[in-house]
């Protein structure tokens, strides 16, 4: 597994009480990786799906970032209000395209940005506690969603618990615990739904030197848009990440040749 981990990812069930960086370091030490990193940060006390990349798979992170996410959790209202009003407010103000400003402690610029809330459902209400399930666009801050809901209701509210149940095709039920990492996912399988280009053997050397590839280098490909990140394969192995141009692909990152 030590060699395979460099070309694999881990669908990990993040425990509460650890930062994502601490988990990266734990995985790095456990498998003797040179580098590790994660996609889609979860708060210290949040749990659930965290995708950890190791060594060469870090180069494929641009293809793993930006996937839709699903959550379950609870919100605590500072004042009690009727469930009917809460559901109406969510339907009117917090479903579909919304404007969200990242929270103060976020690492991104606090500028207004659009995010798509595909669904936001209250599963049940128990006094001031709301239990919810939400499917959202990548980059949506659930903690801010909770506080904005409380502001709109005029009561105030904060996120109490949070579990990430899905990141793109990666499900919580398929994840592994931090103390029992017994399953890794080959990067090729992890990129099952990514845009792909398959190249000819004669093109391998130019790709390894970072030279652009064009139609004559390609044996098969997905339909792509200009500027889109693409997984470049030779046979059944990921060899590089490219950026689609009008009639060519610019090489962005090249994976080391596997032994």
Is 217 a known active-site residue?
no
DSSP assignment letter at 179: T
Residues in the chain: 259
The DSSP result for 112-160, as a single string, is -EEEEEEEEEEEEEETTEEEEEEEE-TT--HHHHHHHHHHHHTS-EEEE
DSSP 8-state assignment for residue 168: T
Distances (CA, A) of 237 to 33, 38, 241: 20, 22, 12
Choice among 13, 24, 43, 217 that is catalytic: 43
* Phi, psi torsion values for 86, nearest 5 degrees: -60, -45
Contact 185, 8 (CB under 8 A): yes
Question: DSSP states of 8-65 as a string?
Answer: EEEEEEEPTT--HHHHHHHHHHHHT-S-EEEES---TT-EEEEEEEEGGGGGGHHHHT
Q: Is 202 helix (H, G, I), strand (E, B) or coil?
A: helix
DSSP string, 90-116: HHHHSSEEEEEPPPTT-SS----EEEE
| Active-site residue list | 43
């Amino acid at each position: 597994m030590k060699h395979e981990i460099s070309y694999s990812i881990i669908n990990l069930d993040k425990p509460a009480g650890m930062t994502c960086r601490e988990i990266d370091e734990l995985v790095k030490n456990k498998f003797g990786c040179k580098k590790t990193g994660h996609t889609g940060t979860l708060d210290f006390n949040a749990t659930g799906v965290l995708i950890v990349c190791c060594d060469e798979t870090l180069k494929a992170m641009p293809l793993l970032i930006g996937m839709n996410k699903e959550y379950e959790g609870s919100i605590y209202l500072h004042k009690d209000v009727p469930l009917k009003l809460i559901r109406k407010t969510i339907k009117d103000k917090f479903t579909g395209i919304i404007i969200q400003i990242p929270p103060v402690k976020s690492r991104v610029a606090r500028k207004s940005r659009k995010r798509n809330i595909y669904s936001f459902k209250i599963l049940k209400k128990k006094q001031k506690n709301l239990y919810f399930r939400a499917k959202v666009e990548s980059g949506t801050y659930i903690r801010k969603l909770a506080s904005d809901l409380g502001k709109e209701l005029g009561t105030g509210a904060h996120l109490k618990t949070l579990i990430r149940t899905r990141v793109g095709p990666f499900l919580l039920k398929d994840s592994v615990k931090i103390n029992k990492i017994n399953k890794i996912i080959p990067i090729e399988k992890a990129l099952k739904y990514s845009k792909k280009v398959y190249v000819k053997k004669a093109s391998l050397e130019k790709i390894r030197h970072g030279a652009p590839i064009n139609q004559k280098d390609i044996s098969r490909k997905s339909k792509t848009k200009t500027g889109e990140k693409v997984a470049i394969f030779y046979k059944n192995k990921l060899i590089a990440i490219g950026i689609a141009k009008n009639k060519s692909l610019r090489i962005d990152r090249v994976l080391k040749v596997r032994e």
